[in-house]
């Protein structure tokens, strides 16, 4: 049974929600999961990543640039959740505009609920923390290159990133439009499925959003690709091998393959992602969009430079890279080439996914401490996304799930399926969860 059905078996009075808000508020001082907490009084609680618009609630994508922007409308996902009776709980913390893998690129980084000295993962850091601390709750999150899988793995929850274009992006503050996918974090595959059924489906406000024929293919084959394990730490590989043994024991056929082109995935992704991000951020000039700049009496360029000081360091870095790679004189060498690489990777991976799932560790490293992650240079940090990027670059659905707790911290694997095989992944999770019990340190809202 999903925890959503379980929740509705009892009447929850006003007291329940008051206590919930109070307890979250208490813990939030330590974990920074929420940027804003709502005034929920009914329904199964859901949180919304802070780059998705909720009417009347401050929505900042964790950026100073958006100041105290309060959207006058709901994103389609939010509208659908509310209509179905879910209760809006709050906006969750994230890396500024989605730029990051560890949740550190924001004013008050979220912390890992298993150990506060460790990162929560990013960019949907707060969504993962909220899911990990709340007994009854689902998170609406978003991934461009791994922002659901990574924090879900670090915080020990289920992260479901559906096929590109299955959930409307209307009301999402875009990072990179051809890559962005709204997805779900939950404490079980069943909860994720229930929410997916509520929020997916075409939307007149998002022309890329479709109603496909979903298939549910589970061939019993799992492919492990060398390029999606190469470079992982010994410890990660030791745990991952155990997972493979256990899946083989359940009857899965595990087959190794190599796909050299995947070595180009990170480069292709960061060119496309930054190119799109730099165009999306161009509108924040302090004029019509972005924190208003009242200092009109200065030179034209100075006015804009002044306004754009409100971007954090990582956003500025991405504007610089993205503007460069799509420049007229070099775009064939970078941007267009990256698109070609993406096409090749899609074709190759689609060929493999026709015959089975692809499984890999979510990250090449175990959850780093905040101190360790802070010391990574930008390139090393980008490269840490090498296992989560391929399905994101290609719009393939994927789930990340916990499979072990070495030294008490969760460790996750990512399973990818072909386009529109979303339900096959959710079916796999159900099977996995029948033999593995996730652990949580907090259970706020349990009765």
Q: How far is the CB of 278 from ligand GLN (least distance, A)?
A: 13
Residues that are catalytic: 49, 123, 147
Yes or no: say if 180 and 172 are a contact pair by the CB < 8 Å rule: yes
Q: How far is the CB of 235 from ligand GLN (least distance, A)?
A: 22
Yes or no: say if 53 and 71 are a contact pair by the CB < 8 Å rule: yes
Nearest-angstrom CA–CA distance, 429 and 425: 6
Q: How far is the CB of 175 from ligand GLN (least distance, A)?
A: 5
Q: What are the distances in angstroms from CA 126 to CA 103, 179, 187, 250, 382?
A: 8, 21, 15, 34, 20
DSSP lists the bridge partners of residue 119 as: 111
Q: What is the DSSP letter of 55?
A: T
Yes or no: say if 426 and 189 are a contact pair by the CB < 8 Å rule: yes
Nearest-angstrom CA–CA distance, 322 and 326: 7
Q: How far is the CB of 432 from ligand GLN (least distance, A)?
A: 24
Please, which residue, 3 or 392, has the CB nearer to ligand GLN? 392
Return the closest-CA partner of residue 199 out of 174, 157, 168, 178.
168
Return the closest-CA partner of residue 128 out of 446, 375, 428, 412.
412
Closest residue to ligand GLN, judged by C-beta, is 147
Please, which residue, 7 or 284, has the CB nearer to ligand GLN? 284
Contacts for 375 with CB less than 8 Å, ≥ 6 apart: none
Q: How far is the CB of 124 from ligand GLN (least distance, A)?
A: 8
Binding residues for ligand GLN, per CB under 6 A?
98-101, 123, 143-147, 175, 273, 385
DSSP per-residue codes, 82-146: HHTT-EEEEEEP-SGGG--SSS-SSSS--B-TT-TTBB--SSSHHHHHHHHHBSS-EEEEEESSS
Please, which residue, 356 or 390, has the CB nearer to ligand GLN? 390
Yes or no: say if 422 and 182 are a contact pair by the CB < 8 Å rule: no
Q: How far is the CB of 383 from ligand GLN (least distance, A)?
A: 10
């Amino acid at each position: 049974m999903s925890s959503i059905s379980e929740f509705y078996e009892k009447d929850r009075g006003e007291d329940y929600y008051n206590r919930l808000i109070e307890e979250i508020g208490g813990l939030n001082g330590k974990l920074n999961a929420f940027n804003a907490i709502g005034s929920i009084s009914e329904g199964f609680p859901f949180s919304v990543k802070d780059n998705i618009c909720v009417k009347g609630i401050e929505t900042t994508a964790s950026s100073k640039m958006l100041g105290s922007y309060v959207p006058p409308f709901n994103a389609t996902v939010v509208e659908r959740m509310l209509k179905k009776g879910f209760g809006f709980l709050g906006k969750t913390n994230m890396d500024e505009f989605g730029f990051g893998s560890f949740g550190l690129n924001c004013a008050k980084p979220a912390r890992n609920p298993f150990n506060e000295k460790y990162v929560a993962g990013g960019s949907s850091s707060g969504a993962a923390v909220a899911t990990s601390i709340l007994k009854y709750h689902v998170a609406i999150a978003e991934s461009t290159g791994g922002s659901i899988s990574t924090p879900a793995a670090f915080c020990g929850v289920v992260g479901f990133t559906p096929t590109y274009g299955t959930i409307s992006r209307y009301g999402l503050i875009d990072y990179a439009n051809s890559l962005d996918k709204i997805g779900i974090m939950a404490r079980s595959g069943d909860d994720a499925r229930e929410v997916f059924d509520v929020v997916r489906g075409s939307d007149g406000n998002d022309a890329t959003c479709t109603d496909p024929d979903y298939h549910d293919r589970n061939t019993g084959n799992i492919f492990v690709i060398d390029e999606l394990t190469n470079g992982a730490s010994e410890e990660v590989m030791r745990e991952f091998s155990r997972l493979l043994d256990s899946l083989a024991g359940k009857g899965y056929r595990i087959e190794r393959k190599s796909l050299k082109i995947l070595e180009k995935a990170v480069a292709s992704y960061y060119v496309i992602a930054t190119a799109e991000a730099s165009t999306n951020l161009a509108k924040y000039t302090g004029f019509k969009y972005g924190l208003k700049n009242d200092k009109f009496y200065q030179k034209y360029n100075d006015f804009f430079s002044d306004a754009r000081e409100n971007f954090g360091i990582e956003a500025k870095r991405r504007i610089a890279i993205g503007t460069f790679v799509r420049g007229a004189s070099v775009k064939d060498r970078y941007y267009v080439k990256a698109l070609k690489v993406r096409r090749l990777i899609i074709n190759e991976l689609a060929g493999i996914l026709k015959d089975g799932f692809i499984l890999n560790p979510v990250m090449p490293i175990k959850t780093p401490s905040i101190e360790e992650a802070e010391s990574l240079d930008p390139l090393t940090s980008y490269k840490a996304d090498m296992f989560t990027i391929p399905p994101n670059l290609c719009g393939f659905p994927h789930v990340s799930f916990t499979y072990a707790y070495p030294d008490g911290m969760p460790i996750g694997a990512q399973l990818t399926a072909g386009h529109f095989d979303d339900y096959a992944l959710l079916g796999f999770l159900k099977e996995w969860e029948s033999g593995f019990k996730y652990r949580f340190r907090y259970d706020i809202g349990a009765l």
